[in-house]
Structure 1
Amino acid sequence: MIAAIFAFSSQSYQAQNIQPFLKHALSKETAERIIPNLNIRYDGKSYQRDVNPFGLIEFLFRKGAHLFVYGSLASAAALVLRTFRARESVAVSLSLLAVLIVASLDEWNQRYSSERTPTVQDIFVDLIGGLIGLAICYAISRLFRRARRAYSLRSRRDR
């Protein structure tokens, strides 16, 4: 997963640009219809549905990818740490530290990639992704624990 993050951050913006695909797959009217009327300012740029819906879709896709990838990274790190019997608070803290380190190195790596600009804002997006991933991971874990406990209680009662 970390290798994939660095492989993508080493690519130029043009190598990752999905706007040509979007323009081929969707008409401007369709693109404007499927996304809400948003005006997002991020890193000194403005992304607006009415000005460039394809740019807004790409922006949302890219930031969504950050949330997903770093959420997955944090969840995987926490699950590995929990298999070594790390306390929940330690697993969460170390997982978020891993996200912070990888995200910082990812942004540093982008300094050397053509047409890419490293931003501290992206590190915060990545940390939010890590937090969301951990929240989902622990919510699912608790659901499984409750279900297992309920099943165990029922099977004891039925004996």
Structure 2
Amino acid sequence: MRQGMTASSALRLEIIIIGLGLLALSLIFQPFHLTLFAVGSALVVLAALLNNLLPLAAPGVSARSVVTGGLIVALIFFVVVLVAIAAAHFYGAFFLKQPDSATYSGKSYYAATPFYLTSFYWVVAAIASALALTIACLVARRP
């Protein structure tokens, strides 16, 4: 019979998650390097996503549950990225005045690749699909 995490491993997971958030904040507010600020900004997003796993950092919770929870949080993140990109495009298409094609900005606007043809969009969609498939397989094989 599987036991799950011990009290010390649950505490260790909790300290790692909270420590990552504190490290990210210290990197953001340090006055020395702009590169450290950029790293801290990315770590803040990661720490915010990992904070959703804090309720699972309890004794007796299986590591499989923590991994499944992390995959679900990652899936939600990637789906929200896709929806945000599409919403920004549709906002611009419906509510903003289209640029004049005789100007430089208009020429670059009309020559740009649509968002749904960029490789970034399809890589994010592929990651979201792979995460959904992985979660479905994990849930189907749950003991």
Q: TM-score normalised to the size of structure 1?
A: 0.28
RCO comparison, higher one (Cα < 8 Å, 6+)? 1
Whichever structure has more strand as a proportion of its residues is 1
